[in-house]
Amino acid sequence: MAGLPETVGTNAERVYDDLRAAIVSGEFPPGERLRTEALAERFGTSRTPVREALVLLEGDGLVEIEPRRGAVVRSFDPADLVDLYEVRAVLEARAASLAATRITEEQLLALEAVCDHADRLAGKTPHTVDKLLAANEEFHRIVIDAAGSPRLSGALRTVAGIPRPFKTVFWKDAAERARSLAAHREIVSSLRAGSAERAESAMRLHVLTARDYLVEVMRERI
């Protein structure tokens, strides 16, 4: 009924969504401690929904809850990223395969518009990189939505939480950016042709290529 306070469950979902976005965006960097009291104050709620949200984020692989230390933003090493991207390659390839036979003309036009927008972006400024990241996320979201599989969408959500700072490397490198944008065009072409096999192959190659590049960059920095 109107006027009643939110339930704990509703609050936990809200905190989960907002905190997840903050971690993925890099606002809370890897290794940072997530204090329940401070988060409750930030989100205007009690500690219980915060604790529930942290448990959910631990399930997503974004947070580690350690004895006596509490919750900490998880750090990613090359092995973690290989695992995440290989799972993504399987799931997103399946999504592309399903989308090839289910996608609407409206969704195809939206994908083409995203590609056109990304192609017009130039430079490596933080503003441009943010726009490219947003365009990339929108592209993959449309393909996943077009697959029409809620279970697949849910499974992909659990492996999509790679913090944004790790993903910016793609869009700061001109060659990798061009390769990724060309892959998007190939995916759209295969979807428009209605070829499930071709769409599946194109998406798998796209994700695995991204995996290889990101792991290479991380190893160079170790």
CATH number for the domain that contains residue 196: 1.20.120.530
Tokens linked to 8? 């704990």
**Within this chain, do residues 140 and 49 fall inside the same structural domain, yes or no?**
no
Question: When comparing pLDDT for 26 and 90, which is higher?
Answer: 90
**Within this chain, do residues 122 and 200 fall inside the same structural domain, yes or no?**
yes
Going by pLDDT thresholds of 50, 70 and 90, the confidence category of residue 164 is low
Q: What is the domain range of residue 44?
A: 8-73
The Cα–Cα gap between 128 and 175 comes to: 16
The Cα–Cα gap between 184 and 114 comes to: 9
Q: What residues contact 164, with CB distance under 8 A and at least 6 apart?
A: 24, 25, 26, 133
Q: Is the pLDDT score of 105 beyond 90? A: yes
**Within this chain, do residues 100 and 14 fall inside the same structural domain, yes or no?**
no
The Cα–Cα gap between 47 and 39 comes to: 8
**Are 145 and 106 contacting, i.e. CB atoms less than 8 angstroms apart?**
no
**Within this chain, do residues 37 and 144 fall inside the same structural domain, yes or no?**
no
Question: 61 lies in a domain?
Answer: yes
State the residue for tokens 């990101």: 214
Handedness of CA 129, 134, 140, 143 (dihedral sign): negative
Question: 83 lies in a domain?
Answer: yes
Question: When comparing pLDDT for 113 and 16, which is higher?
Answer: 113
Question: 159 lies in a domain?
Answer: yes
**Are 57 and 63 contacting, i.e. CB atoms less than 8 angstroms apart?**
yes
Specify the pTM.
Answer: 0.74
- The whole-number pLDDT of residue 124 equals 79
Question: 1 lies in a domain?
Answer: no
Q: Among 180, 172, 176, 188, which residue's Cα sits nearest to residue 205?
A: 180
The stretches of 45-173 forming alpha helices (DSSP H) are 47-59, 78-102, 105-120, 126-147, 150-157, 164-172
Q: Is the pLDDT score of 88 beyond 50? A: yes
Domain boundary pick from 47, 73, 99: 73
In the beta sheet, which residues pair with residue 65?
Answer: 71
**Within this chain, do residues 152 and 199 fall inside the same structural domain, yes or no?**
yes
The top-scoring range by mean pLDDT among 26-30, 38-42, 64-68, 122-126 is 38-42
Strand ranges across the sheet with 70-73: 33-34, 70-73, 63-66
